[in-house]
Amino acid sequence: MNKDNILLELNKIRKEYPGVLALDDLSLSFREGEVHAICGENGAVKSTLIKTVTGAIRPTSGEMIYAGEVVDHQSPIASMNAGISCIYQEFNLISELTVAENVFFGREIMKNGFIDYAAMQEKTREILVDLGVDIDPKQQVKELTVGFQQIVEIAKALSQNVRILIMDEPSAPLTNNELEYLFKIVKKLKSQNVTVIYISHRLEEVFELADRVSIIRDGQYISTLEIKDTNRDELIHLMVGRELGNDFPEDSCEKGDVALKVENLTTSLLKDISFDVRKGEILGLAGLVGAGRTETARAVFGADPIEKGTITLLGKEVVIKNPGDAINKGIGLIPEDRKQHGILAQLSIKKNISFSSLGTFARGLLINSKKETELTRGMKDKLRIKAPTLDVPVSSLSGGNQQKVVLSKALMTDSDVLFFDEPTRGIDVGAKQEIYRLMRDLAAEGKAIVMISSEMPELIGMSDRIMVLCEGELVKELAPEEYSQEIILEYASGGSNNEIARS
Ligand SMILES: Nc1ncnc2c1ncn2[C@@H]1O[C@H](COP(=O)(O)OP(=O)(O)OP(=O)(O)O)[C@@H](O)[C@H]1O
Ligand SMILES: [Mg+2]
C-alpha cells in the first residue's frame, strides 16, 4: 500500500447515457479506515458514482484500483465478495423474505446441495448481536421498522469481510434516536479500519462523522477537504457554486381564522388528539418514531380509519371518507414515503406534477397542454429539478429530484390545508431553501400548513407553533420563544415535567 494508505482509487470514471453525460471523467481516492463523505446537490451524480464502484452499473470508461490492483467488478455480488458493500439510497431488501434470507441473498449458505437456513440464521444472529440489536433473524423484513430494515442492510454488508462500506443517504429515512445508532455503527466500523463512504445532505452529520469530504457537482469532481479545515459555508458554496441567503424565510404574514380544527381524534394509535391550524400558519409536529405524527396526518386525510373525533374545516364539521374525499374537500397530504405513495415512476415529470392538480389544467375533459407545460416548467426551474426535459420518466431522476417532483405536485394543488410529512428528506441545501420559501408563500396565500419533520433546525426555523407528540398523545404545545432542540426532545421522549415548561 502507498504512503497515503489509499485503498480505492477511481481514475477518470465516465458514464454516458444517451444524450446525458452523467459522470465526467471523475477521479477520487479513498483511504483505508477513513470516513469519507461525498456531498453534492440532487442529481450531482453521487449515487451513480457509487453504483459504478459496486458494479451495479458499468462505466463507459475509466479505471478502478482497489488494494493496489486494477479491478473490474461485474456485479454488486462480485464486489461484495471482494469486500466492497453498499447500502443503497432505496433499500434493496426483499420484504417477503426473512432477515437471515435477506442477509445472505444471492450468497446463500449451502449444505449437501440445500440451503442451510439454520447456519444462515446463526450467522445473522451473531452479526446482529455484535451490532447490539435485538432482531430475530427469522422475522420477515416487512415487519421491521425502517430503522431496523437499515440495520439488516448493514448486517448484510457485514456478513462478508467488508473493507469498504458505502452508505448512500443512510440517515434520510431515520428518526433522531435511530440516527444515534447509525452513528455508533459508523464509528465502530472506522475503529475496525473499515473505509466508510458516506453520502448525505445533512451537513451536521458530515461534520460529526467524516474525516474528509469530497464535493461533486454536475458529474464533476470539485475538491476534497479535510473536515477539520473546512466549514459549513465553504461546503455549501462548493456544492451549489453560488451564494445562498438565509436558511429560513421571514414570516411576515397575518394569521387568519382557524382553517382546520381537530377534536379528540382517536385511532388504534392515537389518543384524543386535539389541535387547530389557522390560515397563514405553519404548525410543526414533533415526535420520535411511533409518536403518531404521520398517523395524525393520515387520519385527518382519511387514509386510516378513525375511531372517534371530529374534524372541522373552515368552520364546518366534515366527515372525511377517504383520501380522494379529503382532496375534494381541500386537504392535501405530501407523504413521507415517496416510493409508495408519491409518484408514478414510469410517467413523465409533466404528467406526475399535473396529475393531482388536473383541475387547474382541465377544461371539460380537454387538458390544456400549454398551460400544463408552462406551470410544470415553472416548478422545475424553481426547485431546480435536474432533468433534460419534462417528458423523461420520473424513474430516471435522482432520489432527491424524485422527491422534488412529489413536492411540486403538492405545491400546485389548491388545498386549504396541507400536511407536509418530512418535506425535505433527501433534498439538497439549495432546494431546501426554495421549498421553505414556497411553503411560506403558500401560508401567505392563506393556506394552513402542518409540517412533520425529524430535522430539528427546520422544525424550529419554519414553525409558528410546535406540537409535540409522544406515544400517540399530544404532550405539549410550544410557542416560538420556548423552542429549543433540548426541550422538544425532552417532551418527545416522554421525560417532560413542569419545570421544563417554565424554564
Ligand atoms: N438511465 C438513465 N438515463 C439517463 N440519465 C440517467 C440515467 N440514470 C441516471 N441518469 C442521470 O444521472 C442523474 C442521477 O444522478 P444520481 O442519482 O447519481 O444523483 P445523486 O447525486 O445521487 O442525487 P440525489 O442527491 O438526489 O440522490 C440524473 O439526473 C440523470 O441525469
Ligand atoms: Mg442519490
Question: What is the pLDDT, as a whole number, of residue 502?
Answer: 35
Same domain, 127 and 203: yes
Provide the pLDDT for residue 221. 96
Beta strands in 239-300, from DSSP E residues, in sequence order: 258-266, 273-278, 282-286
From the alpha carbon of 49, which atom of ligand 1 is closest? Answer: 18
302 and 342 in a single domain? The answer is no
What is the model's pLDDT at position 474?
95
Task: Kindly state whether residues 71 and 209 are assigned to the same domain.
Answer: yes
As a whole number, mean pLDDT of residues 19-33 equals 93
C-beta of residue 496 within 8 angstroms of C-beta of residue 503: no
Among 240, 256, 273, the domain-final residue is 240
pLDDT in tens, 462-496: 999 999 999 999 999 999 999 988 899 889 887 65
Neighbouring C-alpha atoms within 13 Å toward the C-beta of 397: 32
Is the pLDDT reported for residue 346 higher than 90?
no
Please tell me the total count of domains within the chain: 3
Q: Are residues 316 and 349 in the same domain?
A: no
Whole-number pLDDT of residue 362: 44
- Choose which residue among 24, 47, 53, 389 to substitute to test ligand 1 binding: the one with the highest number of ligand atoms within 8 A of its C-beta: 47
Looking at the CA of residue 398, tell me the nearest atom of ligand 1. 17
For residue 84, tell me if it sits in a domain.
yes
CA of 33 to the centre of ligand 2 (A): 23
Q: Which residues pair with 85 in a beta bridge?
A: 165
Instruction: Look up the pTM and report it.
Output: 0.76
The answer on pLDDT for 501 being more than 60 is no
Q: Are 311 and 456 within one domain?
A: yes
3: confidence class by pLDDT, cuts 50, 70, 90 = low
Protein residue whose Cα sits closest to atom 30 of ligand 1? 397
Residue 160: which pLDDT band, with cuts at 50, 70 and 90? confident
Give 34's pLDDT tier (boundaries 50, 70, 90).
very high
- For residue 370, the CA-to-ligand 1 centroid distance in Å is 27
Ligand 1 midpoint to CA 487 (Å)? 39
Average pLDDT of the chain, as a whole number: 87
What does the block give as the cell for 351? Answer: 404528467
Q: Does residue 439 belong to any structural domain of this protein? A: no
- 266 and 384 share one domain: no
Q: Is residue 322 part of a domain?
A: yes
Q: What is the mean pLDDT of residues 427-447?
A: 87
**Residue 368: predicted pLDDT:** 64
Could you read off the pLDDT of 392-431 as tens digits, one per residue? 998 888 888 888 888 887 777 778 999 999 888 878 888 8
The reply to whether 126 and 144 lie within a common domain is yes
Same domain, 229 and 286: no
Residues ≥6 apart with Cβ < 8 Å to 452:
284, 285, 293, 294, 297, 336, 419, 420, 421, 422
- For ligand 1, what atom is nearest to the CA of residue 428? 25
* Cβ(213)–Cβ(230) below 8 Å: yes
Quote the domain boundaries for residue 69: 6-240
Assess whether pLDDT exceeds 50 at residue 197. yes
Evaluate if residue 220 carries a pLDDT over 60: yes
How wide is the angle at C-alpha 326 spanned by C-alphas 322 and 329, nearest 5°?
A: 140
- Residue that is last in its domain, among 369, 394, 414: 414
| 20 vs 90, more confident | 20
Ligand 1 contact via 170 beta carbon (within 6 Å): no
Domain end (from 360, 393, 414)? 414
pLDDT for res 262: 97
pLDDT for 88 equals 81
Q: Band of the pLDDT at 84, cuts 50, 70, 90?
A: very high
pLDDT of residue 495: 67
HEC sequence for 89-158: CCCCCCCCCEHHHHHCCCCCCEECCEECHHHHHHHHHHHHHHHCCCCCCCCEHHHCCHHHHHHHHHHHHH
Q: Where are the beta strands (DSSP E) in 246-368?
A: 258-266, 273-278, 282-286, 308-313, 316-318, 331-334, 362-363, 366-367
Residue 332 φ/ψ, nearest 5 degrees = -120, 150
* CA 482/CA 502 separation, integer angstroms: 9
CA of 305 to the centre of ligand 2 (A): 35
Measured distance CA(149)–CA(448) in Å, rounded? 34
pLDDT of residue 500: 39
Angle between helices 429-444 and 399-412 (to 10 degrees): 10
Say if 440 falls within a structural domain: no
Summarize the confidence of residues 17-43 as an average pLDDT: 93
Is position 434 within any domain? Answer: no
The ligand with the least distance to the CA atom of 46 is 1
Distance 49 CA to ligand 1 centre (A): 9
Q: Is 137 in the pocket of ligand 1 (CB under 6 A)?
A: no
Residue 223 domain flag:
yes
Does 378 score more than 70 pLDDT? Answer: yes
Q: How far is CA 94 from CA 57, 81, 129, 229, in A?
A: 20, 20, 22, 42
Does ligand 1 come within 6 angstroms of the Cβ of 46?
yes
Determine if ligand 1 sits within 6 Å of the CB of residue 400: yes
**Whose Cα sits closest to atom 2 in ligand 1?**
396
- pLDDT of amino acid 179: 82
67 with 192, same domain? Answer: yes
Instruction: Give the model's confidence band at 339: pLDDT under 50 very low, under 70 low, under 90 confident, else very high.
Output: low
**Candidate ranges 199-208, 310-319, 490-499; pick with highest mean pLDDT:** 310-319
For the CA of 400, the closest atom of ligand 1 is 26
- Ligand 2 center–CA 89 separation, angstroms: 6
**Residue to mutate, 28, 391, 398, 406, ligand 1, most ligand atoms under 8 Å from C-beta:** 398
Ligand 1 binding pocket includes 398 (Cβ within 6 Å): yes
Dist. CA 205–CA 264, nearest whole Å: 38
Of residues 132 and 203, the one with the higher pLDDT is 203
Residue 405: CB within 6 Å of ligand 1? Answer: no
Q: Are residues 176 and 28 in the same domain?
A: yes
Residue 436 lies in a domain: no
- Counting atoms of ligand 1 from 1, which one is nearest the CA of 388? 31
Among 61-70, 157-166, 424-433, top mean pLDDT goes to 61-70
Q: Is 200 in the pocket of ligand 1 (CB under 6 A)?
A: no
Average pLDDT over residues 265-284: 96
Are 181 and 295 in the same domain? Answer: no
Q: Is residue 1 part of a domain?
A: no
Give residue 2's pLDDT band: very low, low, confident or very high (50, 70, 90).
Answer: low
Ligand 1 pocket test: which of 199, 396, 429 has the largest number of ligand atoms within 8 Å of its C-beta?
A: 396
What value does the mean pLDDT take over residues 209-213? 97
The CATH number assigned to the domain holding 325 equals 3.40.50.300
pLDDT of residue 363: 44
Question: Could you tell me if 224 and 146 lie in one domain?
Answer: yes
- Distance from residue 168's CA to the centre of ligand 2 (Å): 7
Rounded CA-CA distance 85/426 in Å is: 21
Instruction: Write out the residues surrounding ion ligand 2, Cβ under 5 A.
Output: 47, 89, 398-399
State the Cα–Cα distance between residues 372 and 376, nearest whole angstrom.
Answer: 6
